[in-house]
């Protein structure tokens, strides 16, 4: 049986390997030089294999490990608090866990079970979640107490929003954590090295601290202007918490019509998606459906 120092070194090594793999994945997605991109992809594949082996060793030797369920379970390997109401966490991905970009999965913590969209792409060896904590919510209170090393049970991934490559343009409208399936789709698309589609990603929040993936998305938009346009907007620009904000202002749904006109998007060449709170979904539906747009929605209420 492995000693505690062995387990400590194993956990530290696995966390470092996951961080390196995450960095490699981002560098690859941001790279437009095909030879360099291919080299990074090869390094990422080797690193992924090493990371899987390290995680599997931990699963086998850590006495705190619990047997896998039919779909699998995973250990919380990273936890980050954006605001008192928003957290990002990563779970070590069970070897048998397969999913598609944009899928959701039911996550169990103790006796509670809730569905969450997966932020990570299918090639990544971890499962990433961006979650809003609801005051007084039973699952939210459990997540507030969650710590690195805790075990989460995972259901079978399904549902969610899916990318359809029959349309050259993809208008994606999100509020706060509604960005999740779109980040997954974008990471997957860029990782595959595909071209010929443009993501128009519009992200709304009340405050600038609520954009969980703004840095990543702005970097990707700068690296791939032919494949991604990212618009972040705050609905309360005059409040002190948004001091220094230089981006767009207003509720995201109020900016859709102007963006369609500026970008030259039409129902014949654009698939639209909306993900987030129901008020935004209703407003976007009322704007797009009369114009003949195909619209896929997912409510987080």
Predicted confidence (pLDDT) per residue in 24-71, tens digit: 555 655 556 656 655 665 565 566 556 656 665 665 565 444 333 335
Distance CA 219, CA 194 (A): 18
Distance CA 157, CA 117 (A): 9
Whole-number CA gyration radius for the chain: 20
DSSP-derived pairing of the beta strands 151-154 and 126-132: unpaired
What mean pLDDT do residues 221-225 have?
96
- CB contact burial 98-137 (16+ within 10 A = b; e otherwise): ebbbbbbbbbbbeeeebebbbbbbbbbbbbbbbbbbeeee
Record: fold of 169-299: Rossmann fold (3.40.50)
pLDDT in tens, 236-295: 999 999 999 999 999 999 999 999 999 999 999 999 999 999 999 999 999 999 999 999
Distance CA 45, CA 206 (A): 39
pTM score, whole prediction: 0.78
Specify the pLDDT at position 23: 60
Specify the pLDDT at position 65: 40
CA neighbor of 109 nearest in space, from 154, 148, 159, 158: 154
The CA–CA distances, whole Å, from 115 to 137, 160, 293, 295, 301 equal 14, 10, 28, 22, 12
Domain boundaries of the chain, sorted by first residue: 4-61, 73-154, 169-299
Record: fold of 73-154: Elongation Factor Tu (Ef-tu); domain 3 (2.40.30)
């Amino acid at each position: 049986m492995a000693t505690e120092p062995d387990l400590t070194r194993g956990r530290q090594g696995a966390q470092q390997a996951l961080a390196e793999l995450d960095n490699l994945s981002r560098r690859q997605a941001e790279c437009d030089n095909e030879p360099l991109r291919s080299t990074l992809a090869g390094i990422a594949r080797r690193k992924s294999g090493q990371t899987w082996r390290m995680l599997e060793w931990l699963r086998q030797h850590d006495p705190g490990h619990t047997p896998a369920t039919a779909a699998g379970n995973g250990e919380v390997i990273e936890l980050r608090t954006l605001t008192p109401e928003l957290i990002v966490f990563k779970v070590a991905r069970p070897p048998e866990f397969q999913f598609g970009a944009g899928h959701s999965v039911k996550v169990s913590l103790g006796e509670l079970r809730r569905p969450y969209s997966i932020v990570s792409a299918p090639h990544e060896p971890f499962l990433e979640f961006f979650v809003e904590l609801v005051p007084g919510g039973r699952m939210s209170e459990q997540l507030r107490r969650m710590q690195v090393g805790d075990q989460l049970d995972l259901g079978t991934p399904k549902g969610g929003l899916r990318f359809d490559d029959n349309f050259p343009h993809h208008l994606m409208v999100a509020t706060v954590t509604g960005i999740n399936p779109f980040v997954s789709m974008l990471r997957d698309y860029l990782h595959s090295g595909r071209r010929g589609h443009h993501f128009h990603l519009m992200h709304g929040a009340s405050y600038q601290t609520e954009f969980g993936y703004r840095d990543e998305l702005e970097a990707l938009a700068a690296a791939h202007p032919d494949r991604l346009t990212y618009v972040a907007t705050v609905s309360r620009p005059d409040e002190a918490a948004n001091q220094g904000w230089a981006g767009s202002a207003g509720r995201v749904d109020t900016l859709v019509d102007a963006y369609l006109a500026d970008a030259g998007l039409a129902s014949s060449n654009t698939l639209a998606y909306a993900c987030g709170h129901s008020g935004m979904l209703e407003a976007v539906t009322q704007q797009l459906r009369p114009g003949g747009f195909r619209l896929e929605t997912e409510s987080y209420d």
